[in-house]
Chain A
Amino acid sequence: MERLISRGAEADIYLGKWGPLDTIYKVRVKKPYMVEDLDNYLRKSRTIREAKMLRAARNYILTPYVLYVGFKSYTIVMQYIDGKTMKDLINSKPELSYVAGEYLAKLHNNGIAHGDPNTSNLLLESKNSKWFMIDFGLSYYTERVEDYAVDFHLFKEILNVQHSDVYEQALKSFSDGYFSISKIEKDRLINQVEEIERRGRYSRKRRFEF
C-alpha cells in the first residue's frame, strides 16, 4: 500500500501496486464513533457486497477488475482507473449524464440496483475514453421498480445539489439516456420517482411569491 488519494464516507482509498499493475486499495476503516458490532457488520457485509456486485455488474457495463478481497482487513484491491470523474466534467458538458442514464438502465434491466449512483461514481478513463462505474458497496439484486426509482431519484438529487447550474439539461440527458435502454415504461418509473419524492417529509406544492 502506498499513497492515500481520497477519504470517502466509508473507506480510505490508496493507490498502490499489485505486481506490476497500478491498483486501488479500498479499505473500509474502523469508525471510532460506531458501536463495534455495527461497525464490523457494516464493513464486512459491504466489502463482500461490493466485490460481488462489481463482478456481477461487469457483465453489462464497465467496472474495475477485482484482484483481491481481504475479508478480515475489509479491503478490496482493484484495477486503477486513470481518468476524471463525471463530477469534474459535467458542469461544462451537461450532456455527459446521458451515459449515467444508460449505465443505470443497463444495471436495472438485469436486476441490479446501484444504491449510490452519483456523478463521483462514474470515471472517464483517459487512455481509451471509456466510462467506468464504481462504488458498489450499497448495490444489490432486486426486481422491484421501487428500488430502480430510488436509484433514479438519488442521481436526480445529486444533480440538483451539486450541479444546480446545469440541472435542467443534465437531468434531461440522464433521463434520455436511461429511457433509451430501460425496459420499464417511462411513465411507470417517473410516477414511482414522484411517489418517492412525495413520501418525503414535504412535497412540492405552492411557492411563495414575495
Chain B
Amino acid sequence: MIGLGIESTAHTFGASVVSDNGRIMSNVKDVYKPPEGAGIHPREASRHHSDVAPKVLKDSLKKASKTYHDLDFIAYSAGPGLGPCLRVGATLARFISAYYDKPLIPVHHGVGHIELGTLLTGAKDPLVLLLSGGHTMILSAHDKRWRVFGETLDITLGQLIDQFGRSVGLSSPSGPQVEALASKGKNFVQLPYVVKGNDLSFSGILSAAKKSLKSVSVEDLAYSLQEVAFSMLAETAERALALTKKPEIMVVGGVAANKRLKEILSSVAERHGSELLIVPAEYAGDNGAQIAWPGALYRKHGYSVQPERAFIDQSWRIDEVEVPWRG
C-alpha cells in the first residue's frame, strides 16, 4: 500500500509518497517566506501554496515514480493551523480523492510530527517533546490517545523565538538566526522563568526581552532567552521523566533542530537514565511525510472519511485525536 500526504498547515506546502512499511519514497516541499521583520500573512501564504501546489505534487509523484492511479489513499493536514493555508491542502486532497476515487484521511499536524518521529528514530514508547511552531507540549501515549503532560499556557517556544527574531528585524522563521546570535552572547541577563507544575509560560520572556533591547545587546538577549526558555522546558521534561520513568525521550518539531537545546536535553536524559532521540533535521520542520505516514497507519486500521465530510479545524487539540495504533 502506498499513499500521498499533503501538508499545508502554515508556511510549508509539502507532498510526500510513503509506503505502509514506512518507506518515504518522496518528500517535496516549498516554503513561503514572509518579508523580513514580518510574520506569516495567512492569505499570502495560502496564495503561495496554491501557486506551488501543482509543481510540488507533480515532483513528489515523479520522484516516487508513481501516478495518482497507483495511490491507495490521500492524506491531508486537517489542523491545527492557519485556515486559508489548511484549505488549500484540504481542497486539493478532496478533489484528488473524489476524482480518482481514493480513500481520504484527515491527519492532525502534531500527530504527524510525532508519528514520523517514531518511524525515523525507532522510538517505541517515548515521552514526547512536541516543539513545532504551533505546539509546545510534553506527551505520552495511553489508550489510543496522545495525552498531554504539560504544555504552554500562552505562546509556544517556537513563537517566542520567532517573534523575538522578528522584533530585531530577522526574517521568519528565525530559529537558526536567533541560535547564531545566541552563540555570540556572553552575558546572562535574568528573564522571567515561569514554570507552573508541568505547564510553562513564555510570554513574560518575550515582553521582558523586547523591553531590554535598548539596554542589552541582541546577542546577550538571544543567549539569555534561549537559556531561560530551554531550561524551563528541561525542568518540565525532568518532571515528566521523574513521574513516568519512560526509557526514551523523543524531540520532534522545528525547534528540535536547535543544537543548544539538544545539548541541554541530552544532559536531562542522562540524569534520568533515558535515551534521547531527536528527529533528523531534514524532517524536523513541516513536511508531507508527517502527513502521509499517519495516513498509512490510519488506512491500515480501516479509517477514512467521505470527501464532503473532510473538514479542517484550525484549533484541533491533539488529545482529542484517536490514534488506534497506540493501544
Binding site for B on A (CB under 8 A): 6-10, 31-35, 37-38, 41-42, 87, 115-118, 120, 138, 150, 153-154, 157-158, 160-162, 164-165, 196, 199-210
Contact = CB atoms under 8 A, between A and B. Distances in A.
Contacts of A161: 140, 142, 147-149
B156 A154 contact: no
Contacts of B275: none
Nearest to A87: B243
Interface of B: 78, 80, 106, 134-136, 140, 142-143, 145, 147-154, 156, 188, 190, 193, 195-199, 227-228, 231, 234-236, 238-239, 241-244, 263-264, 267-268, 271-272, 298, 303-305, 309, 311, 313, 315-322
Given A9-B239, A204-B317, A210-B305, A154 B196 contact: yes
Given A118-B197, A199-B154, 16 more contacts: A7-B242, A8-B242, A10-B238, A37-B190, A150-B199, A153-B199, A154-B197, A154-B198, A200-B153, A201-B156, A202-B134, A203-B315, A204-B317, A205-B316, A206-B311, A208-B305
Contact of A208 (B199, B267, B313): B313
B interface majority secondary structure: mixed
Contacts of B148: 157, 160-161
A208 B242 contact: no
B106 A150 contact: no
A38 B228 contact: yes
A35 B188 contact: yes
B304 A210 contact: yes
A206 B313 contact: yes
A interface majority secondary structure: loop
Contact of B271 (A7, A138, A201): A7
Closest 7 CB pairs of A and B: A154-B197, A9-B238, A9-B239, A33-B267, A202-B315, A33-B264, A161-B147
B294 to A, nearest CB: 13
Contact of A37 (B188, B198, B241, B267): B188
A7 B227 contact: no
Contacts of B234: 31, 33-34
Given A9-B238, A154-B199, A210-B305, A120 B231 contact: no
Contacts of B149: 157, 161
A196 B153 contact: yes
A201 B202 CA distance: 12
B125 to A, nearest CB: 14
B238 A41 contact: no
B235 A9 contact: yes
Contacts of B264: 33
A44 B151 CA distance: 26
A35 B305 contact: no
Contacts of A117: 197
Contacts of A153: 199
Contacts of B151: 200-201
A200 B152 CA distance: 7
Contacts of B271: 7
Q: Which of A9, A138, A199, A206 counts the most chain B CB atoms within 10 A?
A: A9
A6 B243 CA distance: 11
A24 to B, nearest CB: 16
B188 A120 contact: no
A157 B197 contact: yes
A116 B142 CA distance: 23
A207 B318 CA distance: 10
A157 B198 contact: yes
Contacts of A115: 196-197
B80 A202 contact: yes
Contact of B267 (A8, A32, A87, A203): A32
Contacts of B80: 201-202
6 contacts: A8-B238, A31-B231, A34-B234, A138-B197, A160-B148, A208-B313
A35 B227 contact: yes
A33 B242 CA distance: 17
Given A33-B234, A200-B153, A116 B197 contact: yes
A193 to B, nearest CB: 12
A38 B231 contact: yes
A138 B196 contact: yes
Contacts of A196: 153
Contacts of A165: 143
